[in-house]
């Protein structure tokens, strides 16, 4: 595939075709082409990862729609993903559709409860899309011929939550959280202070990795128990440590730049951004330093600083605070004010952070987890370790709707059992006797 790997579900599908004698090389070549393009489409469209992680079925729709209608902006003749896909004729799309729908049918029929495919991007998206298609009563072609009509967020939420619960019960977690028993080892394995700090923030404050890339040095402010971290929209406010007041983030960027010359380790994107620092949401999506911003709801606010991140672990906050001096003293190319840097002193990028997390998680756990798994770990930690309510988790994760929190708030079977035993332990002798009587008559 695009990243050199082959989805396990595709291997199973090929084996099935071989055993049944129904596989044709031409059809398989088309399927390989489509799946390879899907992977490429996924890795080039980083700004939609949060959406696709939450609602995998939309990934299938977005890919086929982009393949039919193309990815080039007709007005600017540019492609923000760097794909430059021309619109395909209907008959060519239909060839891809027929090949893909055979694979979809196989997944629906044979892989519904197979736990070995839970890290398979294409299978996960296909599995949820199959349910979505049955609910909508429309074919894949009908969906992509009408790209302006979106499936309701209510339907997407319901499918995401139902599927996540089914996968959770079967042991094949679609919305996979980073393995709790491996999180400390994963953090301790990070010798680079920037990645260590990023992982602490994502796992114990629930920051998205796009939000991590927006953090400025000025967003760190002292508190009684270490350091607090300000979070605001990239065009919002931060703290000016000189004037001791809140200022626009752009003003910090504007006054931070330095003259920078081209060297062997800096490319044109580096020079463009470091020579003209601006908010990263204003960059083209294909730019190396682009970082998106998903809707965030701030339920609380500090009178002095604005919204301050909450930490789910004081130990994690201490570890982050301990890194502060090293973080601010590291050399920054072009004098940029971003908190986290890469090895050469340039600002941290989405690609660098994602690749690092995937590579190191694979080394530690045997499976490659993306950065978003750490936000899911945060939800799991809130539900099972801290035992807070879903409503409080909604505030912590900065969701506008409780339905969004449901995707992250995963109760383990051990937690559910503990709660049930705790509830049973509060019953009086009389209530237990009544339950015993009702049980005897249950049949």
C-alpha distance across the termini of the chain, in Å = 56
Question: Cβ-count burial of 96 within 10 angstroms (0-12 exposed, 13-18 middle, 19+ buried)?
Answer: buried
**Which pair of tokens denotes residue 194?**
């920037």
Q: What is the DSSP string of 185-207?
A: HHHHT--SHHHHHHHHHHHHT--
Per-residue pLDDT, 371: 93
What does the pLDDT look like over 283-317, one tens digit per residue? 988 899 999 998 789 887 888 999 999 999 999 99
Q: Which residues pair with 220 in a beta bridge?
A: 229
What does the pLDDT look like over 364-423, one tens digit per residue? 999 999 999 999 999 999 998 898 999 999 999 999 888 888 888 877 766 655 655 555
Secondary structure of residue 226 in the 3-state scheme: strand
Which segments in the chain show pLDDT lower than 70?
1-7, 21-27, 54-57, 74-76, 110-175, 413-443
Q: Please choose, from the candidates 408, 410, 405, 407, the residue with its C-alpha nearest in 3D space to the C-alpha of residue 391.
A: 405
Dihedral pair phi/psi, residue 100, rounded to 5°: -65, -40
Alpha-carbon distance of 171 to 179, in angstroms, equals 13
Secondary structure of residue 22 in the 3-state scheme: coil
Per-residue pLDDT, 23: 58
The kind and range of the H/E element at 239 are strand 237-240
177 secondary structure, DSSP code? P
Per-residue pLDDT, 129: 59
**Which pair of tokens denotes residue 55?**
């609602």
Summary mean pLDDT of the chain: 79
Q: Where are the domains of the chain?
A: 8-170, 180-365, 412-443
pTM value is 0.61
Per-residue pLDDT, 426: 56
Residues constituting the chain: 443
Sign of the dihedral through C-alpha 182, 188, 194, 198: positive
Dihedral pair phi/psi, residue 114, rounded to 5°: -85, 115
CB within 8 A of 380, min separation 6: which ones?
177, 180, 408, 410, 412
């Amino acid at each position: 595939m695009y990243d050199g790997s082959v989805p396990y579900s595709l291997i199973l599908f090929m084996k099935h075709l071989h055993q049944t004698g129904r596989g044709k090389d031409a059809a398989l070549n088309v399927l390989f082409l489509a799946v390879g393009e899907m992977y490429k489409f996924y890795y080039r469209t980083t700004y939609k990862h949060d959406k696709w992680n939450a609602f995998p079925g939309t990934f299938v729709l977005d890919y086929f729609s982009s393949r039919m209608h193309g990815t080039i902006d007709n007005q600017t003749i540019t492609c923000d993903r760097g794909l430059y896909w021309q619109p395909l004729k209907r008959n060519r799309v239909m060839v891809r559709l027929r090949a893909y729908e055979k694979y979809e049918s196989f997944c629906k029929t044979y892989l519904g409860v197979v736990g070995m495919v839970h890290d398979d991007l294409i299978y996960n998206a296909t599995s949820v899309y199959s349910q979505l298609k049955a609910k909508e009563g429309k074919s894949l072609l009908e969906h992509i011929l009408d790209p302006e009509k979106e499936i309701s967020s209510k339907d997407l939420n319901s499918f995401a939550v139902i599927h996540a619960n089914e996968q959770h019960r079967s042991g094949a977690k679609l919305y996979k959280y980073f393995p709790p028993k491996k999180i400390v080892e994963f953090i301790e394995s990070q010798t680079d202070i920037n990645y260590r700090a990023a992982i602490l923030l994502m796992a114990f404050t629930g920051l998205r990795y796009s939000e991590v890339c927006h953090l400025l040095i000025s967003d760190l402010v002292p508190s009684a128990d270490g350091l607090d971290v300000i979070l605001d929209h990239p065009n919002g406010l931060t703290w000016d440590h000189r004037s001791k007041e809140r200022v626009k983030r752009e003003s910090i960027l504007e006054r931070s730049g330095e003259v920078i010359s081209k060297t062997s380790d800096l490319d044109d994107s580096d020079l463009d951004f470091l020579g003209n620092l601006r908010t990263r949401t204003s960059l083209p999506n294909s730019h190396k330093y682009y970082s998106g911003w998903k809707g965030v709801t701030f339920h609380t606010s500090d009178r002095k600083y604005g919204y301050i991140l909450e930490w789910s672990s004081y130990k994690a906050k201490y570890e982050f605070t301990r890194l502060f001096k090293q973080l601010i003293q590291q050399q920054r190319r072009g004098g940029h004010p971003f908190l986290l840097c890469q090895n050469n002193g340039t600002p941290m990028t989405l690609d660098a952070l994602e690749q690092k997390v995937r590579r190191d998680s694979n080394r530690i756990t045997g499976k490659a987890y993306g950065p978003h798994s750490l936000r899911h770990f945060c939800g799991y930690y809130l539900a099972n370790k801290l035992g807070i309510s879903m409503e409080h988790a909604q505030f912590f994760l900065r969701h506008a709707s409780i339905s969004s929190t449901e995707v992250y708030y995963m109760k383990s079977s051990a937690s559910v059992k503990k709660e049930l035993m705790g509830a049973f332990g509060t019953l009086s002798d009389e209530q237990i006797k009544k339950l015993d009587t009702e049980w005897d008559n249950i049949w």
